Amino acid sequence: MTIESFKALVAEQADGKPKIGLTRWTDADLPDGDVTVAVEWSSLNYKDGLALTGKGRILRKFPMVPGIDFAGTVTESKSPDFKPGDGVILTGWGVGESWSGGFAERARVKSEWLVPLPDGLGARQAMAVGTAGFTAMLCVMALEGHGIDREREILVTGAAGGVGSVAVRLLANLGYTVAASTGRPEQADYLKSLGASVIVDRNELSQPSKPLTSERWGGAVDTVGGVTLASVLAGTAYGGAVAACGLAGGADLPSTVMPFILRNVALLGVDSVNCPKPRRQEAWARIAKELPAEALDAVTTEITLEELPGKAEDILKGQVRGRTVVRIAG
């Protein structure tokens, strides 16, 4: 049912910077698309933190509803692939950047961007996974596809963050020995509760290293980039692989070709924004199967849409643990 107006967190441009505020929108304010969704849950991701604070030039047009992911129920559809009442998930595709996103009670998007909510996964659970957890699953799938050595530790950098927390839990559930790197020693017990066997101080990896160091990691999920990624590559064992999905520590890569040509190490780039739909559906099906509800609860904090702007700086400063879901409906 179409409603007269709905709550939306909207970015307007003021003095060259986005100004964020809660307001009321109508369907006429939404972009064109063939499916309209009643948004129930969204989540706070690093990119959302950049958008809400005006850093990183994430928002491409104004006015704009940020929020790069959401889960909810279809209310109107012109697509044969979806009908009213269907549960759906959206991550990526520029939504929340150049197309109004998930921080509103309604969204109108293109049907090809949507994935059906898998059996056994509710909307809140889907956003407890969200873009970060979806990215973590893609990283794990990339490492599996490379055939990483199960006899060696698998490293996860930025392990207490959203991608890292889910990656630790997924890898541990799949039987890998997980080493979790963090700059927050107070999170050691939390990471061990997710399945990490070893805690690695971030400082061990955040300083420039030799092109090659002792072979330690059979593979890695790197969410940091920069010097950290270079250090991880230097310590990856022969035939290993590193799935790289983040650049919070920098976009440069101060490394050499030596890990690649002397140790046959593979650097696997992982992108969740434009990931093809069949790969998305495979990843979400595995998430529904391999991340039980209690595992998601252990990494999840819930906030309201009203509380959201105040959390943006926290995630940029690395002060948010695990996943943060945003209650949109109600």
| Three-class secondary structure of residue 186 per DSSP | helix
Q: 219 has which bridge partners?
A: 154, 241
**pTM of the predicted model, to two decimals?**
0.92
Tokens of 183: 């700059």
Cα 164 to Cα 217: distance, rounded to the nearest angstrom: 16
Q: What is the pLDDT of residue 55?
A: 84
What is the greatest pairwise CA distance in the chain? 64
What is the pLDDT tens value at each position of the chain, 330 positions in all? 455 799 999 999 877 777 899 999 999 999 999 999 999 999 999 999 999 998 878 998 999 999 999 999 999 999 999 999 999 999 999 999 999 999 999 999 999 999 999 998 999 999 999 999 999 999 999 999 999 988 899 999 999 999 999 999 999 999 999 999 999 999 999 999 999 999 999 999 999 989 999 999 999 999 999 999 999 999 999 999 999 999 888 899 999 999 999 999 999 999 999 999 999 999 999 999 998 878 788 889 999 999 999 999 999 988 888 899 999 987
Cα 163 to Cα 69: distance, rounded to the nearest angstrom: 14
Cα 95 to Cα 295: distance, rounded to the nearest angstrom: 27
Q: Say if residue 206 is exposed, middle or buried (CB neighbours under 10 Å; 0-12, 13-18, 19+).
A: middle
User: What is the tens place of the pLDDT at every residue in 207-217?
Assistant: 998 999 999 99
User: What is the tens place of the pLDDT at every residue in 59-108?
Assistant: 989 999 999 999 999 999 999 999 999 999 999 999 999 999 999 999 99
- Work out the angle between the directed axes of helices 123-146 and 277-290 (0-180°, nearest 10): 110
